[in-house]
Amino acid sequence: MADSEHPRLILHNFLPLDLCKELEFIHKSCCTVGYRPNVFSTTLSHLIATNCAPLIMPIIPIREKLREKAEEYFGCQYELFVEFTGLISWCRGASIGWHSDDNRPYLKQRDFAAVCYLNSYDADFKGGIFHFKDGEPADIVPMAGDVIMYTADDRNIHSVDEITEGERITLTLWFSRDASYDEDPKLISSLSPALLGVADSKLHSYIPVPGSINMYWFPPDEASSFLSGFDIRCGRLHVLGFDIYPFQDTFHLSESESSYNLLELLSGPLLIARDSKMFEPQFLNIMHALQMVQFYLWRFSNSKIKVEGTTLNVTPTSQTQKTVIDHLKSVFLKDLQLARRFFGHSKPMKDMEYEFDWDTFSAAVVEWECYVVKLQKELVLHLPHWKTNQSIFCVTLGGDLED
Ligand SMILES: O=C(O)CCC(=O)C(=O)O
Ligand SMILES: [Fe+2]
């Protein structure tokens, strides 16, 4: 498959599609504005810092499998450390020219890269084809479940075409031979024992806690004034048909209130509305609401599961509430068109309109709790082992990932 001048490995169908969908859910619920233009990212340390530690669990076995594969293929058994793990998405306009992944002084520690494609060219996005400058294979068309691995040096100079539509999502890792760049000890020390000691009855401890407002404002250089652009969390909810209504008294929401103060409302309790209906149970903040909607989308929207007969907690939106919603929308989504261009996707949006129902959404909210408790238990089970070894790896793979 590869010659020794250009050491690289392509693995087809390495990740099961349902796992790809799960990672997409995690990314779309938790990401922040990323490190390059029109790029969004979710790192493991960010998941831990925003009280979403259980959500690192689906990533851990994949990470370990990839490290093993890299060591085996590139002939460096037991030598590699994971330097970086992140879910990364590229939206319309993102691209990268010819480069090697170690091409900056501060990236010299990178020895190998692994890129797992979580969604597919054409079906989910247009553009975004990967090219190696020299050697074979030369062009990689991203397909969900496929993985590419290559050396980070100039034997594997590569580029990615501009994304012209949709959102291209990957799980990207870099490996280093230098133990001082191992990300594990930092991650382990940030997994606070107090946080993990919670019993199931205290699940509310795992309600996501948002990072600072400017981490979610796009474009990032507008995050000092918020005069143009949009909040990416509101943008994602908007393209899926949801509005936000703050739970707090809104009498002070005058036109003159600063954008920053209004954006602060997103860190507090709120309700979500859709099609002139308000869902009564409150969410504790925007990340909580977004996670629930993305969870619904992942687990319920494409399945035949329909839940009927749940007591509906949905009321009609009043005119006063609509006025508040519209005012806040004009603050949170200054550039609605841009938000739609980035996160909107004509086909899935139509499917959503068709398939959404509040009863099933209520069921998803309950199911989400079971999901997080399950992951939390796994995390609690593994942590003592991780601490002893100062390294994050699973003792068993739990059957989620095929050999
Ligand atoms: O996402 C990809 O296919 C590769 C991205 C890349 O080259 C990079 O992040 O350095
Ligand atoms: Fe690269």
Spacing, Cα 65 to ligand 1 middle (Å): 20
Q: Does the Cβ of 110 fall within 6 Å of ligand 1? A: no
Task: List the structure tokens of 252.
Answer: 């002070």
The residue assigned the tokens 């490996």 is 175
Q: Does the Cβ of 129 fall within 6 Å of ligand 1? A: no
Asked if 130 contacts 50 with a C-beta cutoff of 8 angstroms, the reply is: no
Q: Residue 42 has what pLDDT?
A: 98
Half-sphere exposure (Cβ direction) of 197: Cα atoms closer than 13 Å: 3
Q: Does the Cβ of 96 fall within 6 Å of ligand 1? A: yes
ipTM, 2 dp = 0.99
pLDDT in tens, the chain (403 residues): 557 899 999 999 999 999 999 999 999 999 999 989 999 999 999 999 999 999 999 999 999 999 999 999 999 999 999 999 999 999 999 999 999 999 999 999 999 999 999 999 999 999 999 999 999 999 999 999 999 999 999 999 999 999 999 999 999 999 999 999 999 999 999 997 656 555 544 544 689 999 999 999 999 999 989 999 999 999 999 999 999 999 876 656 666 678 888 999 999 999 999 999 999 889 999 999 999 999 999 998 876 666 666 666 899 999 999 999 999 999 999 999 999 999 987 565 455 555 788 988 999 999 999 999 999 999 989 999 999 999 998 766 444 444 4
Q: Does the Cβ of 158 fall within 6 Å of ligand 1? A: yes
Alpha carbon nearest to ligand 1 atom 7, residue: 159
3-state SS, the chain, equals CCCCCCCEEEECCCCCHHHHHHHHHHHHHHCEECCCCCEEEEEHHHHHHCCCHHHHCCCHHHHHHHHHHHHHHCCCCCCCEEEEEEEEEEECCCCEEEECCCCCHHHCCCCEEEEEECCCECCCEEECCEEECCCCCCEECCCCCCEEEEECCHHHCEEECCEEEEEEEEEEEEEECCHHHCCHHHHHHHCCHHHHCCCHHHHHHHCCCCCCHHHHEECHHHCCCCCCCEEHHHHHHHHCCCEEEECCCCCCCCCCCCHHHHHHHHHCCEEEEECCEEEEEEECCHHHHHHHHHHHHHHCCCCCCCCCCCCCCEEECCHHHHHHHHHHHHHHECCHHHHHHHHCCHHHHHHHHHHCCHHHHHHHHHHHHHHHHHHHHHHHHHHHHHHHHCCCCCCCCCCCCCC
Q: Among 11, 99, 125, 130, name the best residue to mutate to test ligand 1's pocket (greatest count of ligand atoms within 8 A of Cβ).
A: 130
Give the amino acid at 116.
C
Return the ligand 1 atom nearest residue 140 CA. 3
CB atoms closer than 10 angstroms to residue 373: 14
Q: Does the Cβ of 115 fall within 6 Å of ligand 1? A: yes
Q: Residue 61 has what pLDDT?
A: 96
CB atoms closer than 10 angstroms to residue 297: 23
Q: For 78, phi and psi rounded to 5 degrees?
A: 60, 20
Q: Give the start-to-end residue ranges of the domains of the chain.
A: 8-191, 213-371
pTM: 0.94
Q: Residue 302 has what pLDDT?
A: 72
Q: Does the Cβ of 101 fall within 6 Å of ligand 1? A: yes
Domain 8-191, classified CATH 2.20.28.120, yes or no? no
Alpha carbon nearest to ligand 1 atom 8, residue: 101
Q: Does the Cβ of 170 fall within 6 Å of ligand 1? A: yes
Alpha carbon nearest to ligand 1 atom 5, residue: 160
